[in-house]
Structure 1
Amino acid sequence: MPRRILPLLLLPLLTMPVGGQARTLSARIAKVVTPVANLQEVTVRLEWPAAAESGQLTLTARRMVAPDLGYRFDNLTWRCPLQRIAQPQGWRCEGEIRSAGRKPLKLGIDLATASTDAVLTSGRSKLALHRNAAAPDITRIDLTRVPLAWAQALLAQAWSDANLKAGQMSGSLNIHTPDSQPLRVEGRLAFAGLGLDTPDGSIAAEGLGAQVDLDYRKSAGLSLVTVDGSLRGGEMLVGNGYIALPATPVEIRIAARQQGESGWEIPQLLWNDGNAMRAQGSLGFDAQTRLRDADIQVESADMAPLRPRYLSGWLGLFGLSELQLHGAMSAQVQMRGGELVRAAADLREVSVIDAQQRFRFDGLSGTPVFSAGAAVDSDLRWRGGEVHGLTFGAANLPLDSVGGSIGLREAVTVPMLGGGLRFEDINLRPPAGERGLEFDFGLTVEGIDVGQLAKALDWPAFQGRLDGRIPKARYANDRLDFDGTLVTHMFDGTVQVSGLAMERPFGTAPTLSADIEMDDMNLQSLTEVFGFGEITGALDGSIRNLRLVDWKAEGFAADLHTDPNWKGRRRISQRAVQDLSSVGGAGGLGDSLQAQALKLFDDFGYRQIGIRCRLAEEVCDMDGLRSAGKGFIIVEGSGLPRLTVVGFNHRVDWLTLVERLVAVTQGESKPVIE
């Protein structure tokens, strides 16, 4: 209740004798207008019993609106015992105040000659208001453990979408409401456990602690806010950005403005998290709080805390939420109209390590620059690293950037496994608008040692050389497609990989698809490496429509068979017969002459060997050279003694088949007799 209203309502009472008969005073007021709030359809009723020291005051209003503060109360009722106070001379009334749809509160007012004091309480929460006649345009508010929900209407004046969910605040505010002058709210506040969100979920905070000096002004559609203080603990979400604040204070300084219905502009911004990150500059948002313009400078003397505190949200989009960073860097970023126009970094001995061991870069240094306009030359280098267990050596990348793309000025060879990967024509385009990250490059594989490759991937001890050329690889819409063919020369034959593509290469559950062709591979050398018994001859075959999900086979159509044009000896050992029987689910051995022959001979002649598998839904449909009654022929014998291996299990569980293959290569298999 403003100090100038209550005396007006109580004026008849001031001349009443305290003793004598009981008196009742009633008043109806259509509208009360004050600098802070307007009341409509106000009624005041005061009942003062004879010889009593206090009377019962009841004030009702159909509506109370504080337009500058954003508050509105309907069907307001306040009842309290009114009594005189001697020092300072005046009146006091304290009682319960109710409003439609709101929890009852306790309101106490002290009205003295030169001041007005009001205290609103709910449990341990207290909001105290003080006005002094010497400064009638200033209202002081003191807050003690006040629920942040009490400030919802005030916050809505500056940020209509924000919804305060939790937290308390303490401190003091001065509200300046001079006639015909802008509203101003300034003071110092401390927040604990602050929680808020927006209807679309794009902005949220939980458990945030803060201590800030606040200055908010509003006039003629212009809002100005300055915040100077520190944040401590809690979490924040802004779009895809997730921030987990440390327990140590983070210094902040913000100056913001909004004109009419346009978005907020932040011409001054400071975020100081010590050695982890210091950022300063300016930001601009559109009416939907989307980032429109930015000029930001960032410095990090210790990059290790950056990912858990600031980067996990954005990195999570690429499946890198646990990425480890070490070293130091500085960077500058400029955005205009929601698109990146320039970005420059100074990297100083930076290490980037994927927690899932998919890749690692050591000793990243240089000053790479991205430009959406004029051409800029820069460089990037590293000491070494690793990709999926494959180590690579040092390299220096000369870069140029122009028109929104950054790439190599010249081809670069990265040493790897006794050979190298030669990258050509790299072009990278950062996300812009609705378009995500895109890049393309040419790649030549030069003399990779297959022995080193097999050892790094824990494969059998293959030997050979891997060469090939990918004229163009393209990444867009989270998919990486390769043109061209990779050729591996091994076991006196060749393996060609074509149609290579990856979905979600940087995300969770990456998917690889390819077609593989094998030609003239020496079976004696191949079976020796796999520990599969001994077979002489040459192997041809294909694996079509290969699909790996998270590096596990999900589907393919495999056809492996001996080369009918082989001119040398065609022999298969007893051990190889047993292994093929185990893998193929062969039957027909039992106590037959063929079973007895296995005990008499070390190896046998064959005419042809073939096995096929079509994998789908974790089941392999098995087949061989041709049908043989209810079965299929895996080994067609030749000469005497004649030995034929027939499979009868047309459908094999994929995991069971893999277990059999592992057992075969480890020498643990036994013939499967059905």
Structure 2
Amino acid sequence: MCSLPERLRGVVLALTLAASAASQASLDLSFDRLQAPALTLEQVSVSLQSLDRGPARLRIAQARIAGRDLSDLRLDCAEFSLHPEMRCRGGVLRAHGHSPWQLDFSLTGAQRTLKARVQPPGSPPIDIEGALAGAHPHLRLNTRAADLVRLVALDPVLQKAVAAYTPAGRVDIDAQLSDFGAGRSMRIAARLDLQDARFSSADGLRAAEGLALGIEIRARADGARWNGELSADWHAGELLWDAVYLKGGGTALASRFALDSGQLTLSDGALDLAEVGRLSFFADWGRSAAGAPALRSARIDGQAFDLEALNGRFIAPLSAVHGWPALALSGRADMTLSVDAQGPETARLQLHGVALADAAGRWSLDRVDADLPWQREQPTAARAAVAGAHFGRIPLGPFELRAVLSPDRVSMEPVRIPVLDAGLRLNQLEFVQDDGRWRGDLSFDLEPVSMPALSEALGLPRMAGSFAASVPGVRWRDGVLALDGQMLIRVFDGYVAATGLKLVEPFGATPRVLADLQMRYIDLEALTDTVKFGRVTGRLDGDVTGLELLRWRPVAFDARIRSSEGDYPRVISQRAVQNITALGGPGAAAAIQRSFLGFFERFGYRRIGLSCVLRDGVCDMDGLDHKGGGFVLIEGGGVPALSVVGYNRRVDWPELLDRLSRVTGATPVVR
């Protein structure tokens, strides 16, 4: 608001003189236009039935107040007086398209001291007081627990902008306007306190709940430019904005600002995150060619961020909202980011003594020190030193990663990572952005690892021999890891080859694995000695097609194992026969009398064969041949001739695993 112009003050003076001369006379006045800074009134008419405590009516055809247009305004005062002060009691203010407001006011003295109370429908009253004239004109507005929805409805433009978010809540407002009027530098000081504020978009991707937020603004006009300070203290509540989740409590922001019609600049900014650290920032907005606000430049700096607190307050809740795997995180980090009109320009992340782990215990990295710079215009060299790691229960030794970072490419240098008594040779790891999507390529070789050391690390029965693997190529496309060609694993003097291997969302909440496996020439003696099954000599082939794992557990496959072709000793111990019989369940039986088994420690056999088709938690079992309504698991050969026949073809998968644990003395973990 501003001081009354000469013309309007003359009108008030004329009314006052008329009142002193004839207090009971009625009066009608009309004006084509009344103007003051930020105020224009068109076709104004005043009708007074009495100049001393009588009813009065003010009508305005068109009004423009602080850039907002209103039409058909009407103020009716049940009791109006001009002398000794201008006063309206029992006033009702109406405007086209708006509900009526209750209004009482008084205007007195040479400084035009104003006291007013405005009562919007369904909202607490708004008190306005101050001086409209004098050396330092000022106004103060105060309201408590105002309905946020009704306040927003006062501005149709703002109401339209936020309509899709259905805001709600309460707000306290304490605002002061001073030194207004021609030739003065206007000042504003305001504080807003939101309580239990909330909003939600229709798709649920942008929402807030239980917001408690205090905002303070102090500003001074310098011509058309405003300079000032802004601060906000976020006491409580939750905010989800697309992929960003934030939780209040101890979060505070402070910044200087400069604002004019086409530009907003924030400087000396600081964002304090409780127990996490402080972000310093600068930002500058202009207008795009279309007239919309556009970020022109920005810089963010954070030093010694506490990653454990950052994870607890922001990262973990965000992961829970999106169903991402939970992480355990600790250590310190420094970060910088600069942005221009084209987007991110430079960035740098430095890690100091960071420990990073999957909360489910599937992997971990210990004491990571890293320097990860990035520039939009040129490649940068990144490095990370890792003191140790675990993949499941397998420990990894210290290693250092080096990479080249580009805007659309990340290329890792070859590296050897110690694994028990061997090493994992990472030959290629590269990620490339193509059409806005990232794709990756990986290849590695695992040097022969001692099976005794590996089995001990995995908590499995002690195994003999060594374990090695070669993966010529793995592709990452749209959340799917897919094997190029064949992965070869050497174990038990034979090999296992995997083809068609795919891992779908391996780091998600419901990872899936698809593959076909081929086993060839597996040494049965080494295998059965490892699992304490009973001694069996010979060789074994196997095929597993249509293997599907959900959350790393089998849900479907078609598996068949059989004796390998060739000439080799084929002997099975009495204990192995008993265990195979037990695996067959109540329907399985040896083809010779049990009493006869006691006379022999081992037997010859001609073939071994077993199949299982797993669907819906049930294993449909079969063997080499059908015999007497059953299926042959072992075909005898030599003296004595021994065959084992199974009769129970449908077995629950959990029951089969339980049988296996009983005969081997170990609980199987199938992953």
Query: After the TM superposition, which of the residue ranges 352-361 and 528-537 deviates more from structure 2?
Result: 528-537
SS in 2 for 1:532: coil
Query: What does residue 276 of structure 1 align with?
Result: 276
Counterpart selection for 2:117 from 116, 119, 139? 119
Query: After the TM superposition, which of the residue ranges 448-457 and 499-508 deviates more from structure 2?
Result: 448-457
SS in 2 for 1:306: helix
Does the alignment pair 1:134 with 2:130?
A: no
1:393–1:416 CA contact under 8 A, matched in 2: yes
Does the alignment pair 1:311 with 2:315?
A: yes
Does the alignment pair 1:231 with 2:234?
A: yes
Q: Residue 82 of structure 1 aligns to which amino acid in structure 2?
A: E
Q: Residue 385 of structure 1 aligns to which amino acid in structure 2?
A: A
Query: What's the CA shift for 1:189?
Result: 0.6
1:2–1:116 CA contact under 8 A, matched in 2: no
Query: What's the CA shift for 1:312?
Result: 4.2
Query: What does residue 359 of structure 1 align with?
Result: 363
Distance 1:453 1:290 in 2: 57
Query: What does residue 302 of structure 1 align with?
Result: 306
CA-to-aligned-CA distance 1:571-615 (integer Å, 9 cap, x gap): 252x4344334434573649x864564566555432211111222
1:531–1:667 CA contact under 8 A, matched in 2: no
Query: What does residue 544 of structure 1 align with?
Result: 545
Query: After the TM superposition, which of the residue ranges 40-49 and 601-610 deviates more from structure 2?
Result: 40-49
SS in 1 for 2:452: helix
Distance 1:331 1:103 in 2: 52
Does the alignment pair 1:110 with 2:106?
A: yes
Counterpart selection for 1:389 from 390, 393, 396? 393
SS in 2 for 1:243: strand
Distance 1:11 1:640 in 2: 135
Query: What's the CA shift for 1:460?
Result: 3.5
CA-to-aligned-CA distance 1:111-153 (integer Å, 9 cap, x gap): 2242333222466553425451237986543344434345426
**Structural mapping, 1:262-661, within 5 Å:** 269-273=269-273, 276-283=276-283, 294-312=298-316, 320=324, 322-336=326-340, 339-402=343-406, 404-408=408-412, 410-429=413-432, 435-483=436-484, 485-573=486-574, 575-585=575-585, 587=587, 589=589, 594=593, 597=596, 602-628=601-627, 630-639=629-638, 641-661=640-660
Query: What's the CA shift for 1:384?
Result: 1.0
The change in CA–CA distance for 1:393 and 1:337 in structure 2 (over 3 A counts) is: farther
Query: What's the CA shift for 1:467?
Result: 2.0
Query: What's the CA shift for 1:34?
Result: 5.9
The change in CA–CA distance for 1:178 and 1:159 in structure 2 (over 3 A counts) is: farther
CA-to-aligned-CA distance 1:378-429 (integer Å, 9 cap, x gap): 4221211222232212112233334543333x42211122211122343345
Distance 1:305 1:75 in 2: 57
Counterpart selection for 1:240 from 237, 243, 246? 243
Q: Residue 192 of structure 1 aligns to which amino acid in structure 2?
A: L
Distance 1:95 1:137 in 2: 25
SS in 2 for 1:134: coil
Query: What's the CA shift for 1:541?
Result: 0.7
Query: What's the CA shift for 1:316?
Result: 6.0
Query: What does residue 251 of structure 1 align with?
Result: 253
CA-to-aligned-CA distance 1:248-303 (integer Å, 9 cap, x gap): 3523226376867xx97757643233762322334578889898864322223422
Percent identity, aligned pairs only? Answer: 24
Does the alignment pair 1:167 with 2:164?
A: no
**Structural mapping, 1:57-72, within 5 Å:** 57=56, 66=65, 68=67
Distance 1:291 1:317 in 2: 29
Distance 2:616 2:555 in 1: 7
Query: What's the CA shift for 1:8?
Result: 5.9
Q: Residue 186 of structure 1 aligns to which amino acid in structure 2?
A: I
Query: What does residue 672 of structure 1 align with?
Result: none
Distance 2:322 2:465 in 1: 35
2:247–2:314 CA contact under 8 A, matched in 1: yes
The change in CA–CA distance for 1:233 and 1:218 in structure 2 (over 3 A counts) is: farther
Query: After the TM superposition, which of the residue ranges 195-204 and 351-360 deviates more from structure 2?
Result: 195-204
Does the alignment pair 1:81 with 2:75?
A: no
Q: Residue 481 of structure 1 aligns to which amino acid in structure 2?
A: A
Does the alignment pair 1:665 with 2:664?
A: yes
1:256–1:266 CA contact under 8 A, matched in 2: yes
Task: Tell me the matched-pair count.
Answer: 652
CA-to-aligned-CA distance 1:533-553 (integer Å, 9 cap, x gap): 443322211222322221111
1:293–1:338 CA contact under 8 A, matched in 2: no
The change in CA–CA distance for 1:2 and 1:662 in structure 2 (over 3 A counts) is: same
2:331–2:352 CA contact under 8 A, matched in 1: yes
Distance 1:73 1:255 in 2: 31
2:592–2:643 CA contact under 8 A, matched in 1: no
Query: After the TM superposition, which of the residue ranges 609-618 and 147-156 deviates more from structure 2?
Result: 147-156
Distance 1:631 1:27 in 2: 113
Distance 1:350 1:166 in 2: 41
SS in 1 for 2:662: helix
Query: What's the CA shift for 1:244?
Result: 1.3
CA-to-aligned-CA distance 1:448-504 (integer Å, 9 cap, x gap): 333333333333333332223323333332222333544444333333334433221
Distance 2:466 2:409 in 1: 35
Distance 2:388 2:588 in 1: 56
Q: Residue 161 of structure 2 aligns to which amino acid in structure 1?
A: D
Distance 2:666 2:598 in 1: 18
1:318–1:506 CA contact under 8 A, matched in 2: no
Distance 1:509 1:414 in 2: 28
SS in 2 for 1:451: helix
Q: Residue 512 of structure 1 aligns to which amino acid in structure 2?
A: V
The change in CA–CA distance for 1:613 and 1:460 in structure 2 (over 3 A counts) is: same
Query: After the TM superposition, which of the residue ranges 370-379 and 72-81 deviates more from structure 2?
Result: 72-81
SS in 2 for 1:195: strand
SS in 1 for 2:307: coil
Distance 1:321 1:100 in 2: 55
Query: After the TM superposition, which of the residue ranges 23-32 and 657-666 deviates more from structure 2?
Result: 23-32
Distance 2:293 2:647 in 1: 66
Distance 2:23 2:154 in 1: 47
Distance 1:40 1:615 in 2: 85
Query: What does residue 55 of structure 1 align with?
Result: 54
**Could you tell me the TM-score, scaled by structure 2's length?**
0.81
SS in 1 for 2:456: helix
2:588–2:648 CA contact under 8 A, matched in 1: no
Distance 2:597 2:42 in 1: 107
2:538–2:571 CA contact under 8 A, matched in 1: yes
The change in CA–CA distance for 1:203 and 1:588 in structure 2 (over 3 A counts) is: closer
Q: Residue 548 of structure 2 aligns to which amino acid in structure 1?
A: R
Distance 1:258 1:628 in 2: 93
1:226–1:253 CA contact under 8 A, matched in 2: yes
Query: After the TM superposition, which of the residue ranges 311-320 and 501-510 deviates more from structure 2?
Result: 311-320
The change in CA–CA distance for 1:275 and 1:13 in structure 2 (over 3 A counts) is: closer
- Structure 1 regions of 5+ residues with no counterpart? 670-674
The change in CA–CA distance for 1:614 and 1:218 in structure 2 (over 3 A counts) is: farther
SS in 2 for 1:227: strand
Q: Residue 242 of structure 2 aligns to which amino acid in structure 1?
A: G
SS in 2 for 1:368: strand
CA RMSD between the two structures: 4.5
SS in 2 for 1:526: helix
